[in-house]
């Protein structure tokens, strides 16, 4: 029979050995993350797409050049697409992070569209903006990308379906409002279109502008960057939303599951830990016109050619996918614009607009367009039902 003190000593020794091994492996994971950051940043066009692709259009060659590009996703072995089916175009969010999040896994927005037999395209961007490019320029470039896809599929059974994640969601909504005859159905995933909406006492990022006195910090960051805004500041805002997760939970999860969690952690950090740059004028537009003044849903944004961005001009169905677990774009911000534009169902129907919305009960902001489980359930159903959604009568 082992004496209690000896058993305690044995347990302490086992714990010390296990903790030491885990610590070494965890520190090695952090070392690999750092190396990946530099390797990823050294690439000309870094992305985390897990699919092969071919370049269709380079926005840098446009009359008003931008650092965006359109690529066609090459179906992986064993997957066949039908050129007569409606094309899908996934627009990546440029909110500080690099491109590719909509297709960083086989089970993703891109993956489920390909498996359903649809030709699939992706709109991404380079790490450095073209000097002088604006949000308006990007919207015009995205319209040109959609037109290029339409030309490539003259016999398709419908206009391209556009998927906009987070920041890309409000951007394609702006583009669709100024080019309503170009686009097909819109799928806005975790995309804020009404920036003042929310629930009292929740989602503290909503209060940030008021607490800090407006957008002077955005202007200061742009001035200090000589006209360039570092996307790392936006990533830091995400991290500050949940310090407990940033400083402890995420790291401990890897440490405690180092045998199984390391590769998933490194894959995600390749995207999360490699921020990109924006022109200061782009970031200032976003902060002033959208988040501070909430001009998008009120129809007060006017482009340089006099075109007013009125979301009521969109004539194709709009699918809104949001989640109660999303503290970045809560359901009120994702859906509140509907109430800004239409007082009643009758007004919505009279305006000829079809809106379909789906609420997830728990998934977080990034999970809306990163989670494989969400991709193979919600996004797969959206993809398979899109042709039906396109012929629904006006209404909510």
CA gap 323, 367 in Å, rounded: 10
Token couple for 72:
């066609």
Beta-carbon count within 10 A of 375 CB: 25
Q: What separation in angstroms does the CA of 103 have from each of 94, 116, 278, 298, 374?
A: 15, 15, 22, 33, 13
Better-predicted residue by pLDDT, 98 or 252: 252
Please list, residue by residue across 262-284, b when 16 or more beta carbons sit within 10 angstroms of its beta carbon and e when fewer do: beebbebbbbbbbbbbbbbbbbb
Beta-carbon count within 10 A of 6 CB: 10
User: What pLDDT is stored for residue 286 in this prediction?
Assistant: 95
Of 113, 36, 13, 120, residue with least CA distance to 74: 120
Of 106, 140, 132, residue with least CA distance to 120: 106
- Element (H or E) spanning 189, and its range? strand 186-189
Average pLDDT over residues 233-255: 91
DSSP 302: B
Domains delineated in the chain: 53-199+310-389 (3.40.50.1820)
User: What pLDDT is stored for residue 178 in this prediction?
Assistant: 96
Token couple for 190:
């975790």
CA gap 65, 221 in Å, rounded: 24
Instruction: Kindly indicate the confidence band of residue 238, based on its pLDDT and cuts at 50, 70 and 90.
Output: confident
Average pLDDT over residues 128-156: 97
Dihedrals φ, ψ of 132, to 5°?
Answer: 90, -10
Average pLDDT of every residue of the chain: 93
CA gap 81, 67 in Å, rounded: 29
As a whole-number percent, the residues of the chain with pLDDT over 70 amount to 98
Dihedrals φ, ψ of 19, to 5°?
Answer: -65, -40
User: What pLDDT is stored for residue 205 in this prediction?
Assistant: 66
pLDDT per residue as tens digits for the range 158-211: 999 999 999 999 999 999 999 999 999 999 999 999 988 888 877 766 677 677
pLDDT per residue as tens digits for the range 120-140: 999 999 999 999 999 999 999
């Amino acid at each position: 029979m082992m004496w209690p003190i000896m058993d305690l000593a044995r347990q302490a020794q086992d714990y010390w050995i296990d903790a030491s091994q885990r610590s070494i492996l965890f520190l090695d994971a952090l070392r690999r993350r750092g190396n990946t950051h530099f390797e990823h940043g050294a690439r000309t066009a870094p992305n985390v797409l897990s699919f092969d692709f071919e370049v269709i259009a380079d926005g840098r060659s446009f009359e008003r050049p931008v650092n965006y590009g359109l690529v066609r996703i090459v179906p992986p072995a064993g997957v066949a697409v039908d050129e007569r089916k409606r094309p899908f175009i996934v627009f990546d969010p440029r909110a500080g992070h690099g491109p590719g999040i909509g297709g960083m896994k086989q089970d993703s927005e891109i993956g489920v569209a390909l498996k359903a037999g649809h030709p699939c395209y992706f709109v991404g961007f380079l790490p450095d903006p073209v000097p002088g490019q604006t949000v308006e320029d990007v919207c015009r470039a995205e319209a040109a990308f959609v037109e290029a896809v339409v030309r490539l599929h003259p016999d398709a059974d419908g206009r391209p379906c556009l998927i906009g994640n987070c920041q890309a969601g409000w951007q394609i909504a702006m583009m669709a409002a100024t080019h309503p005859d170009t686009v097909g159905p819109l799928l806005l995933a975790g995309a804020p279109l009404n920036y003042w909406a929310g629930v009292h006492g929740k989602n503290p990022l909503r209060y940030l502008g008021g607490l800090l006195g407006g957008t002077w910090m955005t202007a200061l960051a742009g001035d200090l960057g000589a006209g360039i805004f570092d996307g790392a500041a936006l990533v830091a805002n995400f991290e500050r939303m949940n310090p407990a997760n940033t400083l402890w939970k995420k790291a401990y999860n890897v440490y405690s599951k180092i045998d199984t969690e390391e590769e998933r952690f490194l894959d995600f950090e390749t995207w999360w830990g490699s921020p990109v740059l924006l022109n200061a004028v782009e970031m200032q537009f976003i902060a002033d016109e959208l988040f501070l003044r909430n001009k998008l849903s009120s129809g007060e944004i006017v482009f340089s050619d006099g075109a007013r961005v009125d979301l009521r001009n969109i004539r194709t169905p709009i699918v809104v996918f949001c989640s109660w677990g999303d503290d970045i774009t809560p359901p009120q911000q994702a859906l509140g614009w509907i109430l800004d534009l239409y007082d009643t169902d009758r007004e919505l129907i009279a305006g000829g607009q079809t809106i379909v919305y789906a609420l997830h009960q728990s998934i977080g902001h990034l999970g809306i367009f990163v989670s494989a489980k969400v991709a193979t359930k919600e996004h797969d159903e959206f993809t398979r039902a899109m042709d039906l959604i396109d012929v629904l009568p006006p209404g909510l």
